[in-house]
Structure 1
Amino acid sequence: MNGSTPDTSAGRAGTGPASADGRDLAAILESQRQAFLREGPPSAALRRERIDRLLAMVLDNTDAYVEALTADFGTRSRTGTLFAEITGMLTAVEYVRSHLTGWMRPRRPDRAARLYGVRAEVRPCPLGVVGIIGPWNFPVNLVILPAATAFAAGNRVMIKMSEITAHTAELTRRLAERYFDETELAVVTGGPEVGAAFTELPFDHLFFTGSTRVGRLVQRAAAANLVPITLELGGKNPVVVAADADLSRAADRIARARMVNGGQVCVCPDYVLVPQDRMDDFTAALAGAWRRMFPAILGNDDYTALVNTANYVRVVGLIDDARERGARVETIAPAGEVLPDPGLRKIAPTIIRDVTDDMAIASEEVFGPVLTVLPYREPSEVIDYINRRPAPLVAYWFGPDRADFRTFVAGTRSGGVARNEFAMQMFPDDAPFGGVGESGMGAYHGKAGFDTFSHHRTVVGTDLPVPITSLAAPPFGRWTERLTGFALRIARRRTHRRLRGAPAAGGPAEFPRT
């Protein structure tokens, strides 16, 4: 399970203290880099062993992690925590572990060139030291999975845990010291100042999960050292209910999807587009699903609280702003319960209709148990509405796999697409996961993650008795001149032959279609 957060441990980018927990961040990075240079790329066996120690660190201490996360959130289901934070990532980690040997093998391009004495290979090489900045919504899963992938690619790892989930951060720091030498894995904690200093370190790659706002600051700080970066962000994920969808089934699944981790997940649905003539039926089905799911909220340990007061106040503020500006707000609170509750930081599932662009909820990622429901008349309206907004991390479609769905996929832009189920784009272990535009850059999961944390180094050699550079270096003879002219003539003929066979579209009107 992936997630972005409106407020993360990265804090602001800028000059901050260079230490965390009494340790100098730059010194930790330098010790890891020197160890990497001294020992060289690790063997496949060592990479697997590091992944196994990382898994053991979590699996040996599941009760401690549940206690820490409960302390951080206030209310969070034990079963939900174990599934989302730990068991949910195991197959992805095992997939990476079992395939890393094959991914490490050099790839040999252009085998035909060997007939002429040229041998080429592309070798996946570790980058060196990877920095990982973790979020608060899934503070275990979303540091362990990228760390395991970075280990698979042969790197050393430094992790900055979110200070918002401070108990989980401190537990992970202590455990890392028991399972790893600091030159292999270092976990640091601390507030926004430490997070800012972390982003300014000259890593070989920086991996960040969090909000788009903070992602911009992280990228700016990393750019000062030309550090390549992967940004796993979020956005307002749309859900389209097709005209021929099973309305009851769609409403039930969307209701459940919105409530994963209390709605504090980057791939949660944020707003739903419903055929205009089915709006009342859909909202009634959505409300009914939530009432069945939560006959009680205040004393219900399965109902995840908002992580802190700041996020609680922010979400309540989005609801109040929409109401004050004319939206219809329906709160699905159990009978006899007064919600929202600031002490428990619980907000009842909420449906908001008649949303207009001047309302904050129309543009801000909610990250809470609230769904905006909007009407549409024609499928083209859906595509236009989504495309006028920043590209989301995932776009959902509920309905059959027919022409209108294919048109939707072709006509919109998003990190991924899932049909008829929550987060299905993340299920295949070797499918890349990542955003596009404001929802992120770069990808991981499976081989995409291995490639992200590797440098694909081309190595080419020749045993030819004739120097190839004689063609490119002066003095230039008649042979080079003839060869260049011949190559240009062939290229022109080939290109214009293709243009004659292509449909006449695009380009200036006077382009000579010879």
Structure 2
Amino acid sequence: MKNDLPEVVALEALLRDQRHAYLRAPYPSWEARADHLKALRKVMLDNRDALADAMNADFGNRAKQEVLLAEFLLIKGEIDAALRHGKRWMKAQRRSTNKWLMPARAKVVPQPLGVVGIIVPWNYPVLLAVGPLISALTAGNRAIIKMSELTPRTSALFEQLIAQTFSRDHVAVVNGDAALAAAFSAQPFDHLLFTGSTKVGHEVMRAAAEHLTPVTLELGGKSPAIIGQHARFDNAVDNLVAGKTLNAGQTCVAPDYVLVPRGKEQAFIERARARMATMYPDFARNLDYTSIISERHFARLQRLADEAQAAGAQLHTLTDSTPDEASRRFPLIAVTNAPDESALMQEEIFGPLLPIVPYDTLDDAITWINTRPRPLALYLYADDSATIDRVTRDTIAGGMAINETLMHLACESLPFGGVGASGMGAYHGYEGFVTFSKMKPVLTQARLNARGWISPPYGKRVNALLKLMMRF
């Protein structure tokens, strides 16, 4: 059924305009692409304070330093890397041919796909809009970006800045509610990238299937952390607390639960409490700690904690404060003995609740992870090569970091993406360029070739050739 909402009609017209513009100039030069990337870098960096202020207002509190570190620094690094390498990525890649095709030549030619759609979540609204856009522009595409309605000030300012920087038939931003997002997913883009929850990812993929639109899904899930038997324990706890409290845990790659050697649970809690006191002194008034994005998400976290506690879990508040509904400040809370069937252990937490799960052997820890949906990230704290090699080999995750949390996302040369329930496809760096390109295979046959030797009518000659070819 056709959707006649005015914003949907406008979206459809915008997509048509961008596709027509693409057809008029389907293969922008590297110089043009570089100019687009430089313009994007300039407008984002020149307006980083204004965007950070808008984000602070949308969240209720989010420190400017955190925004600059977690969003703008990564944007700058990604654009700088694209400017260094993009011209080389554009070049055709020579490929080998098998002996029976010689003297033919083979190559892969990267081509822009056309118009890509980017659906942005609320938790890192600038980074997760600009990151995919960098890859799309480097690959020579046009783009339409749907921002989140949960960050209205940031989304409105971002739309204004993009409109000042790019023609609307090149890069455009649309804002609206869930109805527009659903219609956006159903448009016949040449590629669609969605970042968000696994639940909504199912809906996006179903909508995209109507036009067989290829999708990249950056979802979430329950990303585990393992503290090895002989890890530097205090360093591991400190690092995990830092990773879990960035953006108050509202991060797709935040550690969702921690597997610790049995008997170390209380030591973890005590060290985490000390670390929180160092990082966020006078917690109730500390402005470095981010608020939960909305009342609904605050209530969801409170429900997860209350239901787990009612089922027998113990809650360990790691600050001198309790969750405050008025300010939506939710302190880091460690959880022990949470029943496996509780929502806390089944749903992605996406906030500052941290279940602690004891294990006896490394085999037990690996089995625990492998019997659950494949996560977006996996974190291991260990220094011995045997443990590192074993966990790396015997688990599957979208990405992995050793003795670190979150920072694999900041490495622009590494692809970022999920696997299984945590997503499909990847972007960043060269992999982002490939995601938003058609890597067209091209075979060029030489004037003098043996193709006619295997053409009908089949007979003794072809049979003899087949017998020879099967031997080598």
Post-superposition Cα deviations, 1:163-192, rounded to whole Å, max 9, x if no partner, equal 111111111111111111011101000000
Could you tell me whether the CA contact under 8 Å between 1:18 and 1:25 is conserved in 2? Answer: no
Query: Which residue pairs with 2:387 in the alignment?
Result: 404
Give the counterpart letter for 2:370 in structure 1.
Answer: N
Q: Using the alignment, how far apart are the partners of 1:75 and 1:276 within structure 2?
A: 37
Could you tell me whether the CA contact under 8 Å between 2:269 and 2:316 is conserved in 1? Answer: no
- 1:35-114 equivalences under 5 Å are 35-110=21-96
Q: Using the alignment, how far apart are the partners of 2:317 and 2:103 within structure 1?
A: 74
Give the counterpart letter for 2:419 in structure 1.
Answer: V
- 1:453-472 equivalences under 5 Å are 453-465=436-448, 468=451, 471-472=454-455
Task: Say whether residues 1:253 and 2:239 are aligned partners.
Answer: yes
Q: Using the alignment, how far apart are the partners of 1:35 and 1:481 within structure 2?
A: 53
Q: Work out which of the residue numbers 458, 461, 467 in structure 2 matches 1:476.
A: 458
Could you tell me whether the CA contact under 8 Å between 2:316 and 2:335 is conserved in 1? Answer: yes
Could you tell me whether the CA contact under 8 Å between 1:117 and 1:464 is conserved in 2? Answer: no
Q: Work out which of the residue numbers 329, 348, 354 in structure 2 matches 1:365.
A: 348
- Displacement, 1:291? 2.3
- Displacement, 1:477? 2.9
Rate the CA distance shift 1:15–1:70 in 2: closer, same or farther, 3 A: farther
Give the counterpart letter for 1:241 in structure 2.
Answer: I
Could you tell me whether the CA contact under 8 Å between 1:251 and 1:286 is conserved in 2? Answer: yes
Query: Which residue pairs with 2:251 in the alignment?
Result: 265
Q: Using the alignment, how far apart are the partners of 1:249 and 1:396 within structure 2?
A: 13
- Displacement, 1:292? 2.3
Q: Work out which of the residue numbers 160, 171, 174 in structure 1 matches 2:160.
A: 174
Give the counterpart letter for 2:405 in structure 1.
Answer: F
Q: Using the alignment, how far apart are the partners of 1:390 and 1:377 within structure 2?
A: 22
Q: Using the alignment, how far apart are the partners of 1:67 and 1:401 within structure 2?
A: 44
Q: Using the alignment, how far apart are the partners of 2:384 and 2:30 within structure 1?
A: 42
Query: Which residue pairs with 1:206 in the alignment?
Result: 192
Q: Using the alignment, how far apart are the partners of 1:485 and 1:470 within structure 2?
A: 14
- 1:426-445 equivalences under 5 Å are 426-445=409-428
Query: Which residue pairs with 1:301 in the alignment?
Result: 287
Query: Which residue pairs with 1:184 in the alignment?
Result: 170
Post-superposition Cα deviations, 1:273-313, rounded to whole Å, max 9, x if no partner, equal 11112222122111221122222233221110000011100
Post-superposition Cα deviations, 1:70-108, rounded to whole Å, max 9, x if no partner, equal 111001101111221212321122101221100111112
Q: Secondary structure at the match of 2:414?
A: coil
* TM-score normalised per structure 1: 0.88
Give the counterpart letter for 1:365 in structure 2.
Answer: E
Give the counterpart letter for 2:251 in structure 1.
Answer: V
Q: Using the alignment, how far apart are the partners of 1:138 and 1:264 within structure 2?
A: 9
Q: Secondary structure at the match of 2:264?
A: helix
Give the counterpart letter for 2:459 in structure 1.
Answer: G
Task: Say whether residues 1:351 and 2:334 are aligned partners.
Answer: yes
Give the counterpart letter for 2:338 in structure 1.
Answer: V
Q: Using the alignment, how far apart are the partners of 2:262 and 2:467 within structure 1?
A: 64
Q: Secondary structure at the match of 2:417?
A: coil
Could you tell me whether the CA contact under 8 Å between 1:118 and 1:464 is conserved in 2? Answer: no
Alignment length, in residue pairs? Answer: 472
Q: Using the alignment, how far apart are the partners of 2:170 and 2:99 within structure 1?
A: 40
CA RMSD across the alignment: 1.9
- Displacement, 1:50? 0.8
Q: Using the alignment, how far apart are the partners of 2:54 and 2:99 within structure 1?
A: 58
Could you tell me whether the CA contact under 8 Å between 1:116 and 1:464 is conserved in 2? Answer: no
Q: Work out which of the residue numbers 309, 313, 324 in structure 1 matches 2:299.
A: 313
- Displacement, 1:463? 3.5
Gaps of 5+ in 1: 1-13, 492-514
The more displaced of 411-420 and 193-202 is 411-420
- Displacement, 1:460? 2.1
Rate the CA distance shift 1:290–1:153 in 2: closer, same or farther, 3 A: same
Give the counterpart letter for 1:481 in structure 2.
Answer: N
Rate the CA distance shift 1:273–1:470 in 2: closer, same or farther, 3 A: same
Q: Secondary structure at the match of 2:109?
A: strand
Q: Using the alignment, how far apart are the partners of 2:315 and 2:356 within structure 1?
A: 10
- Displacement, 1:57? 2.1
Give the counterpart letter for 2:108 in structure 1.
Answer: V
Task: Say whether residues 1:27 and 2:13 are aligned partners.
Answer: yes
Query: Which residue pairs with 1:451 in the alignment?
Result: 434
Gaps of 5+ in 2: none
Give the counterpart letter for 1:292 in structure 2.
Answer: T
Could you tell me whether the CA contact under 8 Å between 2:136 and 2:436 is conserved in 1? Answer: yes
Give the counterpart letter for 2:298 in structure 1.
Answer: Y
Rate the CA distance shift 1:459–1:360 in 2: closer, same or farther, 3 A: same
Q: Work out which of the residue numbers 215, 230, 233 in structure 1 matches 2:219.
A: 233
Q: Using the alignment, how far apart are the partners of 2:385 and 2:102 within structure 1?
A: 51
Q: Using the alignment, how far apart are the partners of 1:420 and 1:466 within structure 2?
A: 56
Q: Secondary structure at the match of 1:24?
A: helix
Q: Using the alignment, how far apart are the partners of 1:340 and 1:109 within structure 2?
A: 59
Rate the CA distance shift 1:401–1:482 in 2: closer, same or farther, 3 A: same
- Displacement, 1:475? 2.0
Could you tell me whether the CA contact under 8 Å between 1:240 and 1:397 is conserved in 2? Answer: yes
Could you tell me whether the CA contact under 8 Å between 1:76 and 1:301 is conserved in 2? Answer: yes
- Displacement, 1:392? 0.7
Q: Using the alignment, how far apart are the partners of 2:308 and 2:98 within structure 1?
A: 65
Q: Secondary structure at the match of 1:397?
A: strand
Query: Which residue pairs with 1:381 in the alignment?
Result: 364
Could you tell me whether the CA contact under 8 Å between 1:159 and 1:188 is conserved in 2? Answer: yes
- Displacement, 1:116? 5.0
- Displacement, 1:115? 10
Give the counterpart letter for 1:189 in structure 2.
Answer: N
Could you tell me whether the CA contact under 8 Å between 2:26 and 2:112 is conserved in 1? Answer: no
Q: Using the alignment, how far apart are the partners of 1:63 and 1:157 within structure 2?
A: 25
Rate the CA distance shift 1:481–1:352 in 2: closer, same or farther, 3 A: same
Could you tell me whether the CA contact under 8 Å between 1:18 and 1:197 is conserved in 2? Answer: no
Rate the CA distance shift 1:347–1:72 in 2: closer, same or farther, 3 A: same
Could you tell me whether the CA contact under 8 Å between 1:246 and 1:399 is conserved in 2? Answer: yes
Give the counterpart letter for 2:337 in structure 1.
Answer: D
Task: Say whether residues 1:394 and 2:380 are aligned partners.
Answer: no
Could you tell me whether the CA contact under 8 Å between 1:239 and 1:397 is conserved in 2? Answer: yes
- Displacement, 1:111? 6.8
Give percent identity, aligned residues only. Answer: 39
The more displaced of 90-99 and 202-211 is 90-99
Query: Which residue pairs with 1:4 in the alignment?
Result: none
Q: Secondary structure at the match of 2:427?
A: coil
The more displaced of 202-211 and 112-121 is 112-121
Could you tell me whether the CA contact under 8 Å between 1:113 and 1:119 is conserved in 2? Answer: no
Q: Work out which of the residue numbers 218, 222, 226 in structure 1 matches 2:204.
A: 218
Q: Using the alignment, how far apart are the partners of 2:219 and 2:318 within structure 1?
A: 29
Could you tell me whether the CA contact under 8 Å between 1:212 and 1:234 is conserved in 2? Answer: yes
Moved over 6 A (4+): 111-115
Q: Using the alignment, how far apart are the partners of 2:402 and 2:163 within structure 1?
A: 43
